[in-house]
Amino acid sequence: MAAPTTTPAHPAARAASKRRLSRRTAGGVGPIGLGVATLWLSLIVLAPLAAITIKSFENGLGGFVDAIDAPAARAALLVTLGVSLAVALINVVLGTLIAWVLVRDDFRGKSLVNALIDLPFALPTIVASIVLLSLYGPQSPFDIQLNATRPGLVVALLFVTLPFVVRSVQPVLIELDREVEQAAASLGASNLTIFRKIVLPTLAPAVLGGAGLAFTRAIGEYGSVVLIGGGIPKETEVASQYIQKQIEIDRFVNAAAVSVTLLLIAFVVLFTLRTLGGRAARREEHAG
Amino acid sequence: MRKQAISSAFAAAALAVGLAACGGASDSTSDAGDAAAADGGVKLGLVAYAVPKPGFDQLIPAFQKTDAGKGVTFSQSYGASGDQSRKVEAGLETDVVNFSVEPDVTRLVKAGLVDEDWNQDANKGLAFGSVVTIVVRKGNPKGIKDWDDLLKSGVEVVTPNPFSSGSAKWNLLAPYADKSNGGQDAKAGVAFIDQLVSDHVKVQPKSGREATETFLQGAGDALLTYENEALFIERQGEDVEHVTPPVTFKIENPVAVLSTSKHPEQAKAFKDYLYSPEGQELWAKAGFRPVDEAVLAKYKADFPDPEKLWTITDLGGWGEVDPALFDPDNGSIAKIYNAATS
Amino acid sequence: MILTRRTTLSLRVVALTYLGILVALPIVLIFFRTFEDGFGAFWDQITTPAAISALSLSLLIVAIVVPINVVFGIVTALALVRGRFRGRGVVQAIVDLPFAVSPIVVGASLILLWGSGGYFGFLESTGFKVIFALPGMILATIFVTLPFVVREVEPVLHEIGEEQEQAAATLGASRWQTFWRVTLPAIRWGLTYGVVLTVARSLGEFGAVIMVSAGISGESQTLTLLVHSRYIDDHNTFGAYSASTLLMVLALITLLAMTVLDQKRTKDV
């Protein structure tokens, strides 16, 4: 799935169309349409998230901190963050490598492999869980037992986050102007130098962006880890499993607090990476 | 293209609605029982705890063959007893409930969904039961025969989370009753549970059935569960055997009809069928201990008598035991679980 | 960078091995396990009354969620691209929000909002059930699929610009005519791609739906819930594999549609 970027229209064109603008906004939806869109987003997205945020602070800030400081909650969050970080790092390396092979290499069946990358997007998470469990669980044909272990969690999360870095890096690699590389090579730069100084900086924003998406997806993942993870508190229980358990025993404030924590972590990561990526991109532009 | 898309979407929706309306269907490949709801037929909802499905799989078709059960279809839901009870309390509509422990019915009485006199009949609202047993790997490699063996170094025990599962409560009451001599020495009982949970219980399955799954997937050396569940998985050919300690606990699983049921007549007829001689035989065949003494005697081979069988009445009834031991904030066993795992 | 043949080959081998073990091998194994007893056994498992009901419930949810997302998605995309208002960035961020939210958190927040103890809980007393009923499952699915149509239509709207629509307006077309005859055909491939993504995600949603569904076999189980319940509750591993294979086939069809549409929309613009 290509990640569409919303590039603003070129300033000159925008100004030109403003001048040509008739009193009726020809293709737009006007204030009613905007109102409908706002109401829609509020009802579907904002209202539930507001509810859970309000609930998490029902016992005040102290109650919130107590809820996420409870040993099992803390453990669940640490396991989740640790495993997700590992997955993001592995994806950075292997995702970039796979994108490289898909763009710069050519072999029979490449388009099939390329399409396969999107499979984790299209596959239901619970199916991923069962599929991995059949391979690495008690009925494993290779006698590899990964269920109820942290490596098992890592494998499941690698599966579902596979497309993020790859699809993020591919378009940038395709756009990469090879002339700069060739110029550097003709000046005597080694492959490693070229990669470090020319290719990598250009790819960096995309890699970071993809890694951020992968990390965010991993910390919230449930369906693909629910069967293979085993849910052992303090060992393989992830935050989403902890939240679900708390909801089921009517401990709503605990569930809400951990949920809001996950949301905050996701926002911080995405925001940081977007800023870093934006800065790196701007540096690139200025460097010419 | 757009018009085509819209009309085919509508067609798909209509078809889907039509199919989905034939609800409450069975998931077995062999029986065609519930596929079509007869016109004017009654659909009874059954919300049960995690493990009685093997029993109901036999009893429901048999009930449908009786006069009272003609044309009655069922929608069934199985899950952890506490979770199921909370769902019904939160508004899940149904007609008959069958939970693992009495407090899960009491919750519904308090919510006004079950009449207060639900267990005043001759059978006290109990249609069948079981005993607490220990399931071990085939050949019993760790030689587990009694509660004390569970505390042997390195033994890992699988038992569900008592906050969501009824099975978990029975599992813990058995060694508790043994060690505390029927509740007389509560301290000794709680001390044993403390050691068991803190040092030997790692996983926290949600329900009795999930605990079985976890054990079968390779976790743990001993699974505490209902005798009927042990029989069920043995009959399925799993590589396990069960050992019932000489002193164990009598499990009694309540059945109740909701006062808000839309089909009180059929619901009561179904409940009565569970007690009928025919029904009791089916329970026994499925591995559940019937309450009918005659039927129980017939199936002695499956249901050996333990040396001492404690009951909840011996401990003072659920009204006393549940708050004292399992109250989420103050219960002594609840506190142990909280300390060990939360 | 000119890489030696050896480097190229090693990179290729690493990539293909990783993908092979991570993605291809498990999929192949499930297909194998599902069909090793013949097609008949598989067919039996996916035609039980409960399975058929699960499939139709999943399709019903798709049939409701897709039109809603198409309508509101296009409105939102138009508002974001053509509208002139402050706070566009905020609205854009809200549209992207569902990508950052865990499905369990979606389910939890819906329960806290619409559940009987929730902030909108008074609705339950009127008899209109949201949680543990179809509306809850619909709301959960709409939440997770909300961004797709918007994000796929937005860039197309940017690309085509407003000239054609302006032209239509000056020629006297009403707003609706402009939309139907000018805008809609222009965005059709982006829209279709967004619809395909929505369908795939709706069919595959698990974490959010399992929390708000009553989970009653034959009534309120979607296909994904059926897979889970067969594996955990029924101890029916083969049945779980069969239902998974059915979902995998649907996923592969989606993948195919995505690939074809991707080519069409990059060609068409």
Strand duo B247-257 + B126-137: pairing: antiparallel
Q: Which of B271-285, C186-200, C226-240 has the lowest mean pLDDT?
A: C226-240
> Residue range C200-204: average pLDDT?
93
Half-sphere exposure of B116 (CA within 13 A, CB side): 1
Contact B342 A249 (CB under 8 A): no
C240, amino acid identity: A
Distances (CA, A) of C149 to A37, C95, C194: 13, 10, 4
Distances (CA, A) of B73 to B37, B87, B266, C77: 7, 22, 10, 47
- Shortest distance, CA C194 to any CA of chain A (angstroms): 10
- Does the pLDDT value for residue C129 go beyond 50? yes
Q: At what angle do helices C49-82 and C184-204 cross, to 10 degrees?
A: 140
Residue identified by tokens 């569900």 is: B160
CB B217 within 8 A of CB A147: yes
Contact B206 A248 (CB under 8 A): yes
d(CA C132, CA C20): 40
Q: Name A189's Cβ contacts closer than 8 Å, sequence gap at least 6.
A: A197
> Residue range B62-77: average pLDDT?
90
Cβ count within 10 A of residue C206: 25
Residue of C nearest to A160 (CA): C23
CB B196 within 8 A of CB B157: yes
Please give the interface size between A and C, counted as residue pairs whose CB atoms are below 8 Å apart: 295
- The predicted structure's pLDDT at residue C196: 92
> Residue range C36-59: average pLDDT?
92
> Residue range C239-248: average pLDDT?
92
Contact C2 A270 (CB under 8 A): no
Q: CA nearest C132: which of C220, C213, C216?
A: C213
Quick: pLDDT tens for A187-206.
888 888 888 888 888 898 89
Burial of C263 (0-12, 13-18, 19+ CB in 10 A): exposed
For A95, the token pair is 């995702």
> Residue range A20-27: average pLDDT?
46
d(CA B268, CA A215): 54
- Does the pLDDT value for residue A220 go beyond 50? yes
Which of C70, C105, C247 best probes binding to A when mutated, by most A CB atoms within 10 angstroms?
C105
- Does the pLDDT value for residue A288 go beyond 80? no
d(CA A230, CA A238): 10
> Is the pLDDT higher at C172 or at B254?
B254
> Residue range C205-217: average pLDDT?
89
Asked if A200 reaches chain C (Cβ–Cβ under 8 Å), the answer is no
- C231 CB neighbours in chain A (<8 A) are 130, 227
Q: Which chains touch A (3 or more CB pairs under 8 A)?
A: B, C
For C210, the token pair is 């399992």
- C46 CB neighbours in chain B (<8 A) are none
CB C193 within 8 A of CB C261: yes
Residue of B nearest to C114 (CA): B90
The DSSP line for C211-223 is HHS---TTTT--H
Residue of B nearest to A248 (CA): B83
Q: Is B65 helix (H, G, I), strand (E, B) or coil?
A: helix
d(CA A93, CA A98): 9
> Is the pLDDT higher at B219 or at A13?
B219
Which of C112, C242, C246, C259 best probes binding to A when mutated, by most A CB atoms within 10 angstroms?
C112
Quick: pLDDT tens for A96-108.
999 999 998 889 9
Model pTM score: 0.83
Q: Give the sign of the dihedral formed by CA C70, CA C72, CA C74, CA C77.
A: negative
Contact B9 C63 (CB under 8 A): yes
Confidence bin at A13 (pLDDT 50/70/90): low
Q: CA nearest C256: which of A122, A4, B299, B5?
A: A122
CB B27 within 8 A of CB C234: yes
Asked if A279 reaches chain B (Cβ–Cβ under 8 Å), the answer is no
- The predicted structure's pLDDT at residue A11: 57
Q: Name A279's Cβ contacts closer than 8 Å, sequence gap at least 6.
A: none
Please give the interface size between A and B, counted as residue pairs whose CB atoms are below 8 Å apart: 46
d(CA C130, CA C202): 18
Q: At what angle do helices B81-89 and B166-179 cross, to 10 degrees?
A: 130
B51, amino acid identity: V
Q: Is B43 helix (H, G, I), strand (E, B) or coil?
A: strand
Residue identified by tokens 């890489």 is: C3
Distances (CA, A) of B43 to B18, B40, B262, B270, C229: 17, 9, 9, 12, 22
> To the nearest whole percent, how much of chain C has pLDDT over 70?
99
Question: Which ranges constitute the DSSP H helices of chain A?
Answer: 11-20, 30-41, 47-56, 60-69, 71-104, 110-116, 119-122, 125-136, 150-175, 178-186, 191-194, 200-220, 239-248, 252-287
Asked if A274 reaches chain C (Cβ–Cβ under 8 Å), the answer is no
Burial of B333 (0-12, 13-18, 19+ CB in 10 A): buried
Q: CA nearest B242: which of B101, B145, B338?
A: B145
Cβ count within 10 A of residue A145: 14
DSSP B148: G
d(CA A222, CA B326): 29
> Residue range B4-24: average pLDDT?
46
Burial of B118 (0-12, 13-18, 19+ CB in 10 A): buried
Residue of C nearest to B205 (CA): C232
Distances (CA, A) of B120 to B115, B262, C146: 10, 22, 53
Quick: pLDDT tens for C14-23.
999 999 999 9
DSSP C63: H
Asked if A46 reaches chain C (Cβ–Cβ under 8 Å), the answer is yes
Torsion of CA A25, A29, A35, A37, to 10 degrees: -140
d(CA C268, CA C262): 10
CB A157 within 8 A of CB C267: no
DSSP C181: I
Asked if C232 reaches chain B (Cβ–Cβ under 8 Å), the answer is yes
Which residues in chain C (102-121) have CB-CB distances under 8 A to chain B? 115-117
> To the nearest whole percent, how much of chain A has pLDDT over 70?
86
> Residue range B315-332: average pLDDT?
88
- Does the pLDDT value for residue B26 go beyond 80? no
> Is the pLDDT higher at C213 or at A177?
C213
- A126 CB neighbours in chain C (<8 A) are 206, 224, 227-228, 244
Which of C37, C56, C176, C189 best probes binding to B when mutated, by most B CB atoms within 10 angstroms?
C56
- Shortest distance, CA B289 to any CA of chain C (angstroms): 21
Contact B90 C45 (CB under 8 A): no
The DSSP line for A81-135 is HHHHHHHHHHHHHHHHHHHHHHHH---TTHHHHHHHTTHHHHS-HHHHHHHHHHH
- The predicted structure's pLDDT at residue C68: 96
- C171 CB neighbours in chain A (<8 A) are none
Confidence bin at B27 (pLDDT 50/70/90): low
- Does the pLDDT value for residue B5 go beyond 50? no
- The predicted structure's pLDDT at residue C148: 93
Asked if C40 reaches chain B (Cβ–Cβ under 8 Å), the answer is no
d(CA A62, CA B29): 54
DSSP A2: -
d(CA A186, CA A206): 27
Asked if B16 reaches chain C (Cβ–Cβ under 8 Å), the answer is yes
